[in-house]
Structure formats: structure tokens, C-alpha cells
Chain A
Amino acid sequence: MILVCILGLPLIGAGVIAAGGGRPTLGWAGVGANGAALGLGIWTAVRVVRTGPLTGAQGVLRADALSAFMVVVIGVIALLASWIGIRTVALELANGQSTQRRVTTYGVLVQAFVAAMLLAVLAANVGVLWVAVEATTIVTTFLVGHRRTKGALEASWKYIVICSVGIALAFLGTVFVYLAALHVGGHSADALDWTSLMAHARHLDPSLMRLAFALLVLGYGTKVGLAPMHSWLPDAHSQAPAPISALMSGVLLTVAFYAILRFKAVVDLAVGPGFARGLLVIVALLSLSVAASLLLTQRDYKRMLAYHSIEHMGLIALGAAAGIPLAIAAVLLHILGHGLAKSVLFLTSGEIMAAEGTSQIDGVRALLARRPALGGVFGIGLVALLGLPPFSLFSSELLMARAEFEVGLGWAAVAAIIAMVVIFVAVVGHARHMLLGPPGAAVVEAPPPGWVAAPLVGGLVVCGFIGVFAWPLSGLLEAAAHVVAI
């Protein structure tokens, strides 16, 4: 029941928005719904850690610790994004870039998007998971193209075509898994259920599972933003409205990665851990090198953030490749930390873009002097994202490195760290140009209102908090890690 509530809440929010007729303030309904979903998610997490997995809706929905964790992540980011979204649509409406109808569409689609992601992580069946992930693609295409500029349309076209291809490959992989599962005596209706898959995992046909997993990594990897099918990501993230970029970069990528994690657990049992590890290491290093190379001479700060996401997805993939409980716990912590920091950064970059009128790095100067609040949040967000303490990304990156060394992936960890240093060099250079320097003649403008700054600062505070304090999450992380760890 509670799981259905979690799923339903965002949709209720969507209903309210749809009924409200395009007033931006109705967005608060979405914020409330997402906040409530977050609350229920936390409650679920507590229960799951105490008493074990929950099921709902006749077994279609199932929440173990991993799902609960993902629900929390989605809830947090959705809360942030829908909150700032109110500001975004209000500004657009005020500037005449939007209509009331589009405001409504936007609000409804965002809520549908959140619901689809929640469905993806709460689905008991990996087929339903696939359907939900594909649904996110369809829903977000319009959100990416929300601005209706040529760039936005181009980005959404690329986004849907590339992701559809990818997700189709994932479907082929799912079919192969299904085929393998049927052969070990699974009942056709629940052969794709997570519990049944795990129960029979050891007997699944290894060669079939290898092919299936390779397709799944390639397919879901497209949505995750792993190289070589990452190309949609910088375009889509740079063209989408800031809250959408935040949602996509902050959680959508990791929801897709959640799917890979689930399948990886099955494949590890079926064919041993070596195969999934090798594959993930390859895509991880490929993604990291792509991100490093393209960040060096990046000119657009939203694209910079997007490539930064590719880097972090590479890191997460590398952590998952290690696969031991420590690694998975670190991966999950990283998912949360990255989600928080990245969404705050995208939301801030939206504010910056609204204020400065350009997304070019060259076009933004001396932000800290001219717009201290925005510049400060952006700078601290970058500090968080670059993996510096006290933010949780530091802890998770360190934990992942430790885990990788422990399973003999030290060389890959070293390669990743080299790429990270290059990325650090690049991002610091860009940040320097954007943030530092004399204010010049430009007038210092008023900071964004408090209700806008609050979630941004709050997101960073939470990110720092979970980086320092272990107790709020440790139980959940460990329980979640044991769901899919080797």
C-alpha cells in the first residue's frame, strides 16, 4: 500500500497541476507531493532496514533496501527540482517565453517523470523496470524540448533517437534473460521477477547471460550516459530547462544505472563476477577518458556539468565493477551525493543563465564578485562535485578506490584517478574564469529570493552532512549493498 502511495503521490501532484490551469504557484502541489513521497520513502527505508523487503500492488511493486534508497534519492532530487521549477516557469511566463498551457504541460510531465522513475526502482519485475525506464525517455523528450528553440528540438531529437535505440538493446538483453530464466523452470509470468531471477541465478545459461548483460550494459548504459552511447547527454542537459537537467543528471542517469546494478547481481551469480567486472571497467574507463578529453576545452558551463556527469557515471560504473559490499555502498552514497551536488549545480546554472543570458563560460565573469550568492553556491557545488571534503563525494570516491584496490582493480582505479586529475585541472580552469576576478563596471544585482536559495544551500548542506556523518545512512547503505553485492 505504501509503495502504491509513493507512486501515486507525484501523480496526484500532476493531477492538481493539470486541474489548476497554468499558474506557476501550483507547482507547490508538486513540491508537496514529491516531499511527501520523499517522506514515505524515508519511512519505507527505515522499515525495510528493520524488517526486510515490502511488496505492494499484487507483487508488481517491491521495495528492498536498494529500492528504498533509490526512492529516497529520487525524492530528494525531485523535491529540489520541482521547487526551483516553480521559479523557472514563473520567470519564463513573466518573460513571455512560455504560455500557461505549457506551464501546465511542464508541471504534469515533471510529475509523470518522477512517477516513472519511482516505478522503475519499485518494480518487482525487470520487464516493468524496462517499461518504466523507456517511459522516462518519452516523458522527458518534451521536457528537454520545452524551450522549443532549434537547439532544444535538436537535443530532444537526439535524445529520443539515441535513447530509444539504447533502450531497445536493453530490451533485447531483457528478452535473453527471460529466455534463460524460462529454461531453468521459471513460470512465464514471474520469470523476470527479481526474486525469482536471483533464486535461479546460479543455473542460468552463462553464455546467454553474458550476451544479455553486454546488451543490457550497452542499452541501459545509453541512458546512464556511459560511453560510447553518451553523446545525447551533453546536448540534452545543456538545452533542457535547469530543473529538468537537474532531475536527469541527478537521478535519471542513476535510475538507469540501478537497472544495470540489478542485472549485474544476477549475472555475477550466473557467470561469476569477472565478466560483468571486465565489461563495466571498459565502459567506465572509456567514459572517464571521454569526459576528461572533452572537459579540457569546454566552452559551455552546462555542457561542462553534463560531461562531469559522464565522469561520475564512469566512476560509479567502476565502483560497481568492484562489486563488493563496500564498493556498492560507496556507489550508492556516490549516487546520492552526486545527485545532490549535480542537481544543485544545474539549478544554479539555470539561475546564472537567467541572469547572465548566456551559457558560455566566456560570457560569465567574476561571478563571486558580481553575484556572490549564485557564485558562492556554484563554487561550493563544484567543490563538492570535484570530490573534496566535507562533501559526501569525497568519502564515496575514496571508498570506491579502496574497494577497487581490494578486488585487484587498482590499475583501473589509478587510471580513473588520473582522468579525475585531468578533469580537476580542466574544471578548475573553467571555474576560475567564471567565478573569480574583479567585478568590473557591471552592477551587482540583487541575489535570488530566499525561497530559491534555500533548497540550493540545503542541498549542499545535506551533501556535506552525509559526507561527514555516517549514522543516518550507514544501515540503509549496508542493507542496500548486500542486495546486489558479490
Chain B
Amino acid sequence: MTSDLLVVTALIGLSSSAVGAMAPLRIRMHLSVALTIAACASGFVMAAEVLHTGRAAVVHTTALLPQSGLSMVLDRFGALFVAVSAVVGIGAMVFRLGYHGQGLSSRTASCILPLFVTTLLLVPAAANVTTFLFLWELMAVTSLLLVLVDHRRRSEVASAGQWYAVMTQFGAAALLVGLVLLATHTGSQSFAAIAARSTHLPAGVRDSAFVLVVVGFGSKAGMVPLHVWLPRAHPEAPGPVSALMSAAMVNLGIYGIVRVGDGLLGGGPAWWWLLVMALGALSALFGSLHSATSSDLKRLLAYSTTDNVGLMLLGVGASGLFASTGHRALALVALVATLLHVVFHAVFKGSLFLSASSLQQATGTRDLDRMGGLLRRVPLTGTIFLVGGLAMAAMPVLCGFVSEWLLLQAMLHGLPSSDPAIAVAMPIGVGALALTGGLTALTIVKAAGIGLLGQPRSTGAAEAHEVGPSMRLGAAILATLCLVFGVAPFLVVPSVVDAARSVTRARIPDPLVGGWQVGLAGVHGALAPGLLALALLIAVTLVAGARRMLQPTPARRTQAWGCGRDLQTATMEYTATSFGEPLTRVFEDVLRPAHDLDVSHAAESRYYVEAARFHTSLDDAFERHAYRPASVGLGRWGALARRVPNGSIHRYLAFGLVALIVVLVVVG
């Protein structure tokens, strides 16, 4: 039944792609979106079925993929990711119905978008190296093309696409080498066979495969220092695409690391996981810092994806570290926390990207410094953004809180440990997590506060109108899930536990307490998000009642207090840049902001300043100090190499003569 659904999902997805390519313009978009939603629904049903029954969906055929055959096995772990992609896909596709910007209506885009969604649904089912890499690369190509759809209008798109293409190819190369290394040494390219035989491999092979795979998947997940494409590509992609990329595609990077590290390799030495944790902490801090200081709404969200991926990696690393030191139950808890964060990140980041695109469409800008006052003008979209943002900031009763709490619990309970690695890693991990959490809160206060609240900072913002109903619905689906999962995490926790158990093959009892609480079995105390929500609701209602009783007259609207100035204009408000300025100052050594002050003096006297212009910009340190030198170096090498073939036939023949002499002397 599930196996059939797998085929059905793939076929619906492909047919919607075909419809997108061939159907007449009038019905093209609606038909292909409807079919894509059907594919997502079918994928979701399949994933739910697999998660429920534990029976894998299996498809094998040698008729596809030359000389290796297609092999797909969807187990519970994969099903979790399929379900996530399906939910995000449905949200994004509903959103897409009303979305008319950025070149997404072209024939190419209508053909590629369903294909991209389909690959998102199929990648977790791949069960041999070739199938996996095929689908993985197909996903990369389709997403790349979708990033590029708006290249005609904005020149940044091309640059973003280039970065994305290069980084994703770099990652794919690492991935290819890593997986092929495993396949070769185990003598089979099937994941099941690799998993069965990998424990007997030489340590060198296992180590290099793991590191390569982390690099490969990390580049897709936006892990620092391979993240540089992400803050460029995600913002430039059309709204639904950026949501799919940020909320569904990066998850697959985490999927891959867990699948290979825990699944195929069956865990490894502590240093693997310390490496993952270190990269995770770096990503989390770096991402959140840039996110906190960015004033481009979508770039901010993209950096926050790096930040959240860092948290996931922190969890994956902690889980592996626990497993490597024998704490199997804790390892499972950490993994569950990670996977929960994957699920929750998907819903909140999906709703954030979708609503951010709505805001962009409503105001015509992505620049927070040109927004403002939107919660009054686009109330539903604004609220959706706020809900998603607060969920991301791990505010209680929204979903992000639950996963971060569980991750903290896992780290905490690992602690009275004789293992020095754990003893050092966990406090640092908690510190990174905490700073990230604080910075995320700051980021969201900035994004929502500057973007949605206060006075409008531009005419675009002042004249903003609410977007169409399907766009609101698509984002609202995901935002509602933020709240639902935050209040009732038991809706997903059991499935996530099953998924985590299926990949680690840990035969241990459920380490979590069940029911409407979340907590660790055998530990005093748990989290009851539902009760907390109820208590909070009651408390706020009571306070509101008290306020109404004390002061029944509604608030008087009056001009904001501006120290008695004549005018209180939007330019006097704090901007996103100034909001992040203290942080920039604090982390000056890391962020290295570039300041630029132009002062022009009055003609009469140099003592009078005619105009002053201050410009500050924040570059990505990795981009500046690693990637640009590398690019310059390649360019220099290329220029040097060009001088060798100068067009002279004599020189060319001389190469041949030298080669011939070498051959004759060496071989003869």
C-alpha cells in the first residue's frame, strides 16, 4: 500500500511537472499547483502510514538508472522528512496560487517547481547511492533553476545563483566521494548492505567518509563555513521557493548527516560528533549574529536558517557524542530533540518565509528600514509573521520552545559525566544555544518590531494592502501548526521518537514521558506546554479583565510623544540597522563592519560641513576572508595558465616532442 503510494506520489509529481510544461497558459498554473498539492498529500499519507505502521515503502527496479537500478526504501526516519516536506509543500503551493511575482509563472518555472517538490518528497526514500545522488542532484538543479527565475529583473539573482551552484556542486562532489567510498569498501551500493557491513571497515575509511559527508550535507544545510550561498540564494528565490528551500530542503542536509552518521555508519568516535557540535555551534552563533544585524528581511530569515541548522547540528552532535560514550537513551533524546526542531523549524520558517514574501509583495520592498506599520495594514499576514517569529525565538506555547527545551534537557542530563569530552562540550553547547536563543529573540523583535510595528517608513509600506486569500491561507496553515505543535507537541513527539529509533536502531524503551507532557522518563519534572498555554491564557485574561475594570474607557489616540517636536515622522524612528547597532559594536571583532564616511565641505570654508554621508555595511567574514581570496587565486591561476598555449604551433608540437621523448625513454 505504501509502496504503491510512493509510486503514485512520484507519478503525480511528474505529471504536474508535465502539465506545468505543456498545459495552456490559462489553466497551467492552477492545474499544476493542484496536482503538486495532490502529490504532497499523497506523500503525506504515505509518510503517515509508514510512521504509523513502521512498515517501509519499498520500490526496486532495474529499468531505471543505467547500470545500477533505482532503489527506494522509505523507513520511519525518512518518512518523517517526507511528511515535513509534504506539509511545507502544501503550504507553499497554496500560497503559490495567489503569488504572482518574480517570474514564477513562466512555463519553465511551472515545470520545474513541481519537480523540485517531488524530489523533496523522494530524496528521503532513496536507498542506494546512485538513487540518492540522482535525486539529490536533481533537487539541486531544480532548486537552482527556481532561484534563477527572476534573473531578468534583478542582477543579484544571477550572482546568488552562481554562488548556490558552486557551493552545492562542491558539496555534491564531497558527498559523491564519501558515499562511493563507503559503497566501494562495503562492496555494495545499497544503503542496507552498507549499514550491515560498515562497522567492519577500517577507521580511515569511516573517518574520511564521515567528514566528506558532513561537508557535503553541510553545504546543502547551510552550515558555516559552507553557508555563503544561503543568505544570497534563499532571499533571491521567489517566495514559495525560498520557503521550500529554507523549510524543507535544508532539512535534508540534517537527514543526510544522521542517515549516514547514525544509520549507515552506526555511530562513530567522539571526535566526529565533537566536530559536528563545533560546526553546529559556529553555525548557530554566526547565523544568529548576522541575522540579528541584517536589515534585509529575507536575508535575515536566511541567516536564521543557518542559525537553526546550527542548533540541529548541535543536537545531532550531542546525540552522537552520547551514543559514542554509551548513553544510548540520552542519545535518543538528543536526536528526538533535533528531529523535533527539524519539524518545528519547517513550520515556523515556512510561515516566516511565506509571510515575508507576502510583506514584500504588499510593500514592494524587502528592506526592513522601508517597512513599518504593517500590522495595522496587513493584519493577518503580519500576525502570521509574528507567530512564526515568536516560535523561532522559542517563546513558550509556540513550537520552537519545545524542541529547544528538550535539547537543553538532553545536554543537561548528559552532564555528570566522567567523559571529559562531554563535560566540556555540553556547557559550551548550552552557552551557544543560549546566546543563539537570545540573539534570535532580538532578531525577531527587530524584524517584527521594525517591520510590522510603528509608523510606516516608506510610501510602499504606508499604502500596503493585504495579499490575496490563498497566500494568506498558505502561510496561515503553517503558522497555525506553530501554535498547535507548541501547545500539543504530543501530536508529533511519538512519531519523531519512532523515526529516531528507526535510524539509530536503538533497542531501548521510549526515553520520553508520554501524554500531554514532554519530559524525560525517570526524571522529576516535565514540560506541559498545553497547561502552560492555558495558565498564560488565564493570567492574561485576568489581567485584561482587571485593566478593563479599573479603566473602562478605551485608550485615547494621540500623537506619539516626541519631546514636543512639531512633527513626529517615520525618519525619527529607530531603524533595523540602528536596532542592531549595539550588537554590531559588541561583536565588532567578529563582524568587522565596514564604515564609510563621506564629508563634503562648504565652498566658503573647510570648517563648515556641507553634507555628510555615513555608510556602514556588514560583509560575511567567511566570504571576505576565505571565498574571495580563493576566487581571486583561481582567477590568477587561470590567467597564468592562459599564457602557456600562446597559439604557436611550434610550442604545441614541442609539447608533443617532449612527451614522445619521455615516453620513449621511460617505456622503451
Contact = CB atoms under 8 A, between A and B. Distances in A.
Interface stretch (B134-142, B277-285, B424-432, B470-478): B134-142
B563 interface: no
B67 A417 contact: no
B255 to A, nearest CB: 19
B634 A422 contact: yes
B89 interface: no
Interface in B477-530: none
Interface stretch (A12-20, A71-79, A103-111, A208-216): A208-216
Contact of A470 (B63, B151, B162): B63
A353 to B, nearest CB: 20
B131 to A, nearest CB: 11
Interface in A442-486: 466-471, 473-474, 477-478
A185 interface: no
Contact of A296 (B63, B635, B656): B635
B395 interface: no
Given A333-B66, A376-B108, A432-B161, A231 B645 contact: yes
A478 B66 CA distance: 11
A228 interface: yes
Given A157-B649, A424-B166, A436-B148, A169 B660 contact: yes
A383 B141 contact: yes
Given A330-B67, A405-B180, A413-B177, A390 B138 contact: yes
A420 B166 CA distance: 11
Contacts of B141: 383, 388-389
A195 interface: no
B152 A437 contact: yes
Interface stretch (B181-189, B192-200, B344-352, B584-592): B181-189
A362 to B, nearest CB: 15
A277 B108 CA distance: 44
Contacts of B67: 326, 329-330, 333, 395, 399, 470, 474, 477-478
A398 interface: yes
Interface centre among A157, A234, A368, A414 (most CB of B within 10 A): A414
A27 B183 CA distance: 50
Given A402-B180, A436-B158, A477-B67, A294 B645 contact: yes
Interface string B39-68: 000000000000000000000001111111
A6 B99 CA distance: 56
A429 B162 contact: yes
A159 B667 CA distance: 27
B615 interface: no
Max chain A CB contacts within 10 Å: which of B68, B170, B189?
A: B68
Given A158-B652, A437-B155, A228 B638 contact: no
A354 interface: no
Binding site of A, secondary structure by majority: helix, strand, loop or mixed? helix
Given A410-B184, A470-B66, A421 B667 contact: no
Interface string B181-219: 101100001000000000000000000000000000000
Interface in B144-159: 148, 151-153, 155, 157-159
Interface stretch (A93-101, A123-131, A141-149, A160-168): A160-168
Interface in B19-53: none
Interface in A359-387: 366, 368-369, 376, 383, 386
A417 B172 CA distance: 10
A161 B648 CA distance: 12
A169 B662 CA distance: 14
Contacts of A417: 173, 176-177
A119 B520 CA distance: 76
B572 interface: no
A222 interface: yes
A269 interface: no
A425 B166 contact: yes
Most buried by A among B180, B637, B639: B180
A296 to B, nearest CB: 3
A438 interface: yes
Interface residues of A, number: 75
A470 B148 contact: no
A430 to B, nearest CB: 10
Contacts of A466: 66
A426 B638 contact: yes
A386 B108 CA distance: 20
B177 A432 contact: no
A65 B108 CA distance: 39
B63 A402 contact: no
Contact of A401 (B108, B134, B176, B642): B176
A158 B648 CA distance: 9
Contacts of B108: 376
A258 interface: no
Interface in B632-668: 634-635, 637-639, 641-642, 645, 647, 649, 651-653, 655-656, 658-660, 663-664, 667-668
Interface in A231-247: 231-232, 234-235
Contacts of A329: 66-67
B165 interface: yes
Nearest to B108: A376
A356 interface: no
A422 B635 CA distance: 11
A116 B419 CA distance: 73
A297 B649 contact: no
B309 to A, nearest CB: 23
B130 interface: yes
Contacts of A438: 152-153, 155
Contacts of B638: 293-297, 426
Contacts of A386: 169
- The residue among A293, A326, A376, A389 with the most chain B CB atoms within 10 A of its own CB is A389
A418 B130 CA distance: 20
A165 B162 contact: no
A218 interface: yes
Instruction: Specify which of B67, B130, B153 lies most central, judged by the most chain A CB atoms within 10 Å of its CB.
Output: B67
A394 interface: yes
Contacts of A402: 129, 180, 183-184, 189
Contact of A439 (B68, B152, B667): B152
Given A294-B642, A366-B152, A406-B184, A398 B133 contact: yes
B69 interface: yes
Interface string B97-109: 0000000000010
B660 A470 contact: no
19 contacts: A169-B660, A211-B667, A218-B659, A229-B652, A231-B655, A294-B642, A294-B645, A394-B134, A395-B65, A398-B129, A402-B183, A413-B177, A417-B177, A420-B173, A421-B169, A428-B166, A467-B66, A471-B62, A474-B66
6 nearest CB pairs, A to B? A296-B638, A293-B641, A231-B652, A297-B638, A436-B158, A405-B184
Given A395-B67, A437-B151, 6 more contacts: A231-B645, A296-B639, A329-B66, A402-B189, A405-B183, A414-B177
Interface of A: 157-158, 161-162, 165-166, 169, 210-211, 214-215, 218, 222, 228-229, 231-232, 234-235, 293-297, 326, 329-330, 333, 366, 368-369, 376, 383, 386, 388-390, 392, 394-396, 398-399, 401-402, 405-406, 410, 413-414, 417-418, 420-422, 424-426, 428-429, 432, 436-439, 466-471, 473-474, 477-478
